[in-house]
Chain A
Amino acid sequence: MQLLEIRNLKASINEEQILNGINLNINIGEIHAIMGPNGSGKSTLSKIIAGHPDYQDYSGEILLSGEQINELEPSERANKGIFLGFQYPVEVPGVNNAEFLRLALNSKRVYESKTEMEKEEFDILLNQKIQMLNMDEFFLERSVNDGFSGGEKKRNEILQMAILEPRLSILDEIDSGLDIDALKIVSEGINKVMNPNNGLLLITHYQRLLRYVKPTHVHIMYKGKIVKSGGEELAEQLERGGYESIKEIQPDSGVKV
């Protein structure tokens, strides 16, 4: 069943063309990885899907379960089941992490015309998720990402994902800045949240994340276009030969790979 469909997405920032006609289909139960050199437009794509206000200048269509979401506010997209894990999670001093998680979940529940979850009930849920992700409870007492290490911020993103149970998660370079131990922990967390009823789009520069979170589809993005799509073997090819081994990426392109 179709989860996300992107049709001919073109976008520019400050009059520079960043996305050059992206087409992408993600079905329920699939894990897609978009890989590509720096500057190929991967993060722009994720922000446009999530509805970032700075990325409004685009054409094409974004459909979630067949419904066009181009005009929707970021909060509505989130409440319909899109979750963006940030490359650089934002620090929000003064907003308690546990309280924020409850606000977020209740926003979704209100959107779905469900009753809000009381603190007691939510705390039970939160404890389950914390345990599932092997996280420390101290995460909950602190302000959102405030003073967190890089690894803690990324784990906090996965905790949010686990609480919100999105239909489609987009994780933008969730692996960046993580050492190997932290990468394993974050990957395990992702795998625990994934199930046959949701989908995942991983955006990454490196192949190593894909050793732990196995993709069903791999796309190579270059100069704002998906230049090659395949299965897991494509990621393996990248690991062996680097981006130079992909013939669709021309060595004289001037793009640093």
Chain B
Amino acid sequence: MIVAERLCLENIREVFEKNINNSNVLNIKLKEIAKESFKKFIELGLPNNKQEEWKYLNLEQLLKSNYYPYSNFNPEDNVQNLSDSIEQNIIEECKQSNIVLINGFVSESHSNFSALQNKIFIDSIHSSNLRDNPLSVYKEDSSRPHQNIEKDGGELLNKNFNKVETEDPFVHLNTSFNSEGLFIFIPEGVELKAPIELLLISTNNLTINHPRILIVSGKHSKAKLFIKTIGTNNIEYFSNIVNELTLEENSKLEITYLQKENGNSTQFAFTDARLHESSELDLSCFAYGSHLSRHKISVNLNGRGANCKLNGLYKLSSNHASHNQIVLNHNVANCTSSQFFKGVLDENAKAEFSGTINVAKNAIGTNAEQLNKNLLLSPTAKVDTRPQLQIEADDVKCSHGATTGQLEEEQIFYLTSRGLPKEKSIEVLTKAFSDEVLDRSSFKSYLL
């Protein structure tokens, strides 16, 4: 195991160094960020099960694996045969408002965002040296809010990129490698009617890819996103995703995140959200694929009156495992948050739900709730659920709860006594259990 771990790290270091020295992609500032992050990653090292946060994850296979990160990948090369599977995974409402990332790189030829042109700003995070023009502009003068990150024009990116405060090595690994990334800025006052789909697809065997998404929603803006992550059949890969979300004052962002990676894959996702005054984040996460997936969600309620709703459903079978780790920080007064996560586990599936609510000393008038419910369809399925509250303020309303159980025999009998075969009865009851979460997403029909 130790040998394997070293092997993995050495691969990564080798590619990183080659990458950083030869790169004409990154500008000086981003190169610095990448170097610092890599230093931090090496310092932190790969995690082990003695660390609290990683206690429930079975890391053995990942650490043993001989995955290589990408050094340089052109998403327009050799991906013509992907057209069909991309087409199938773009939902009806987003045929003209989608962005496709292949192995973490934006593929212009597979994306269609014509409906977003002149409304919102879309570009790759590191694009200033990559493209002559941004993918989509929102002002006639084609200004790039992050064109020169070293100068004033880069303020928006400077303010919002790489602001995750964490000791999580995989976030630093992502920052070291995120070769291009996707930057979406919804300008002040813009309300998008059509949703945006981001399709993240992994295509190469035995690779680590590092998709990086930064979304900044400007003051009083409103948008809906459907993010779906998939992988080509039968390949083995590790998708290490970081999403950064900044919600400016009074903006509203609704995101449905569907993890449907193939069964050989590992996905770690880290979503870091910063909410300013009276902004509203509605994030629903669905974990259906991957033999090992982890979604860490860190929310900072930084402005008064901010409201964050997190919903989640993990539906697993085989020996798949899903880990949901949530940290919700009420940093200021009068914010509201809710966490509602449900799990349906069959066969030997395993899940973790760890949800922490931190209420700072001055965060009076906080209203926070958290609920985790699990349905075990097999005696060998297993759930670890750990709700935690840390409250330093008075005058707050916090609740949390967790349940784990089987379907009720009397309900099954009731349905079968009406003629539904037993399997169908179980299916109907399981669906009813899941629907409670599914009904909270605008994209329900694409989540079944």
B414 touches A89 (CB 8 A): yes
Check if A257 is an interface residue, CB within 8 A of chain B: no
Residues in chain B near residue A35, CB distance under 8 A: none
Check if A241 is an interface residue, CB within 8 A of chain B: no
Check if A74 is an interface residue, CB within 8 A of chain B: yes
Residues in chain B near residue A202, CB distance under 8 A: none
A103 touches B416 (CB 8 A): no
Residue of B nearest to A74 (CB): B416
Kindly identify which residue among A54, A90, A105 contacts B414, using a CB–CB cutoff of 8 Å: A90
Instruction: Determine how close the nearest CB of chain B comes to the CB of A153; give it in whole angstroms.
Output: 11
Check if B420 is an interface residue, CB within 8 A of chain A: yes
A75 touches B420 (CB 8 A): yes
- Assembled-state Cα–Cα distance A86/B437 (Å): 30
* A 81-102 to B, binary, CB cutoff 8 A, 1 in contact else 0: 0011010011011110000100
Instruction: Determine how close the nearest CB of chain A comes to the CB of B159; give it in whole angstroms.
Output: 44
Residues in chain B near residue A54, CB distance under 8 A: 409
B418 touches A94 (CB 8 A): no
Instruction: Determine how close the nearest CB of chain A comes to the CB of B269; give it in whole angstroms.
Output: 28
A92 touches B411 (CB 8 A): yes
A90 touches B420 (CB 8 A): no
- Assembled-state Cα–Cα distance A108/B416 (Å): 11
Majority DSSP secondary structure for residues of B touching A = helix
Kindly identify which residue among B410, B428, B431 contacts A90, using a CB–CB cutoff of 8 Å: B410
Interface size class of A (residues with CB under 8 A): 20 to 34
Q: Knowing A86-B414, A90-B411, A90-B414 touch, does A95 contact B429 (C-beta < 8 A)?
A: yes
* B 421-448 to A, binary, CB cutoff 8 A, 1 in contact else 0: 1101100110111011000000000000
* B 384-425 to A, binary, CB cutoff 8 A, 1 in contact else 0: 000000000000000000000000111101111111111011
Interface size class of B (residues with CB under 8 A): 20 to 34
Kindly identify which residue among B409, B414, B424, B436 contacts A92, using a CB–CB cutoff of 8 Å: B414
Q: Knowing A90-B414, A94-B436 touch, does A73 contact B421 (C-beta < 8 A)?
A: yes
Residues in chain A near residue B421, CB distance under 8 A: 73, 75, 107
Residues in chain A near residue B417, CB distance under 8 A: 50-52, 74-75, 77-78, 83-84, 86
Instruction: Determine how close the nearest CB of chain B comes to the CB of A20; give it in whole angstroms.
Output: 24
Residue of B nearest to A95 (CB): B432
A92 touches B422 (CB 8 A): no
Instruction: Determine how close the nearest CB of chain A comes to the CB of B344; give it in whole angstroms.
Output: 13
B410 touches A107 (CB 8 A): no
* B 32-45 to A, binary, CB cutoff 8 A, 1 in contact else 0: 00000000000000
A104 touches B419 (CB 8 A): yes
B418 touches A164 (CB 8 A): yes
Instruction: Determine how close the nearest CB of chain A comes to the CB of B371; give it in whole angstroms.
Output: 15
Residues in chain A near residue B429, CB distance under 8 A: 92, 95
Q: Knowing A94-B435, A95-B429, A95-B432 touch, does A104 contact B418 (C-beta < 8 A)?
A: yes
Residues in chain B near residue A79, CB distance under 8 A: 419
Q: Knowing A53-B409, A94-B432, A95-B432 touch, does A103 contact B420 (C-beta < 8 A)?
A: yes
A93 touches B432 (CB 8 A): yes
A111 touches B419 (CB 8 A): yes
Residues in chain A near residue B418, CB distance under 8 A: 78, 100, 104, 107, 160, 164
Instruction: Determine how close the nearest CB of chain B comes to the CB of A204; give it in whole angstroms.
Output: 19
B422 touches A73 (CB 8 A): yes
Residues in chain B near residue A100, CB distance under 8 A: 415, 418, 428
- Assembled-state Cα–Cα distance A90/B413 (Å): 9
Instruction: Determine how close the nearest CB of chain A comes to the CB of B261; give it in whole angstroms.
Output: 28
Residues in chain B near residue A90, CB distance under 8 A: 408, 410-411, 413-414
Residues in chain A near residue B424, CB distance under 8 A: 103, 107
- Assembled-state Cα–Cα distance A105/B419 (Å): 8
B435 touches A92 (CB 8 A): no
- Assembled-state Cα–Cα distance A53/B409 (Å): 9
Kindly identify which residue among B410, B422, B428 contacts A103, using a CB–CB cutoff of 8 Å: B428
Instruction: Determine how close the nearest CB of chain A comes to the CB of B311; give it in whole angstroms.
Output: 15
- Assembled-state Cα–Cα distance A115/B446 (Å): 28
Residue of A nearest to B435 (CB): A94
Q: Knowing A95-B428, A103-B428 touch, does A52 contact B433 (C-beta < 8 A)?
A: no
A75 touches B433 (CB 8 A): no
* A 35-57 to B, binary, CB cutoff 8 A, 1 in contact else 0: 00000000000000011111000
Residues in chain A near residue B414, CB distance under 8 A: 86, 89-90, 92
- Assembled-state Cα–Cα distance A78/B419 (Å): 5
Residues in chain B near residue A74, CB distance under 8 A: 413, 416-417
- Assembled-state Cα–Cα distance A45/B186 (Å): 67
Residues in chain B near residue A84, CB distance under 8 A: 417
Instruction: Determine how close the nearest CB of chain B comes to the CB of A138; give it in whole angstroms.
Output: 19
A94 touches B419 (CB 8 A): no
- Assembled-state Cα–Cα distance A124/B413 (Å): 28
Kindly identify which residue among B411, B419, B436 contacts A164, using a CB–CB cutoff of 8 Å: B419
Contacting B at CB under 8 A, from A178-198, are: none
Q: Knowing A54-B409, A90-B414 touch, does A75 contact B432 (C-beta < 8 A)?
A: no
Residues in chain B near residue A103, CB distance under 8 A: 420, 424, 428
Residues in chain B near residue A105, CB distance under 8 A: 419
- In the assembled complex, 30 residue pairs joining A and B whose CB atoms fall closer than 8 Å, in A order, are A50-B417, A51-B417, A54-B409, A73-B421, A74-B416, A74-B417, A75-B417, A75-B422, A77-B417, A78-B416, A86-B414, A86-B417, A90-B408, A90-B410, A90-B411, A92-B414, A92-B415, A93-B432, A94-B431, A95-B429, A95-B432, A100-B415, A100-B418, A103-B420, A103-B424, A107-B419, A107-B420, A107-B421, A107-B424, A108-B419
Which residues of A line the B interface, CB within 8 A?
Answer: 50-54, 73-75, 77-79, 83-84, 86, 89-90, 92-95, 100, 103-105, 107-108, 111, 143, 160, 164
Which residues of B line the A interface, CB within 8 A?
Answer: 408-411, 413-422, 424-425, 428-429, 431-433, 435-436
Given contacts A51-B416, A74-B413, 8 further A-B contacts (CB under 8 A): A52-B417, A53-B409, A73-B416, A75-B420, A92-B432, A95-B432, A104-B420, A108-B419
